[in-house]
Amino acid sequence: MMNYQNKFPIYRDATRLVVEIESAVKDFPRYQKYTLGSEMHTLAYDLLTVMPYIINNKNDRKQLIKKAHQFSEVLTIQIAKQIVNLSFKVFETLVSLTINLSKQCKAWQNKLQHQRQHESNYVE
């Protein structure tokens, strides 16, 4: 199995985001821990789970990156909702990680778009 952590910063950041969310959700009030905290867990794990597929499946990469980008944007909104319950340091870490992941997904998406345009220029 490939070590994605060292080779792909996007995978490393997604893993760190899962760990940070696990830590932050422990301090949520009980109700929010099992509602919004659970939703944040699910989105972060979904984001992490899709990473190996993005890395390994060139044919579906564009669609999967778009999905990962959507997960990261939804997660940012969920984190913003939780600011009242998070210390500023935890909030800053989570938002920073989700923004970085979103930017990495968007950059990867743009790179694939550029490659496809470049390839189509050679075909004509």
Q: H-helix or E-strand containing 124?
A: none
Q: Whole-model pTM above 0.85? A: no
Q: List, in order of start, the domains of the chain with CATH numbers.
A: 9-123 (1.20.1440.60)
pLDDT tens sequence for the chain (124 residues): 467 777 888 889 999 999 999 998 888 888 888 888 888 889 899 889 888 888 888 888 888 888 888 888 887 767 766 666 677 888 888 888 988 888 888 888 888 888 877 776 665 5
Structural Rg of the chain based on CA atoms: 16
Residue environment code for 87-116, b if the CB has 16+ CB neighbours within 10 A, otherwise e? eeebbebbbebbebbbebbbebbeeeeeee
| Exposed / middle / buried, residue 64 (Cβ in 10 Å: 0-12, 13-18, 19+) | buried
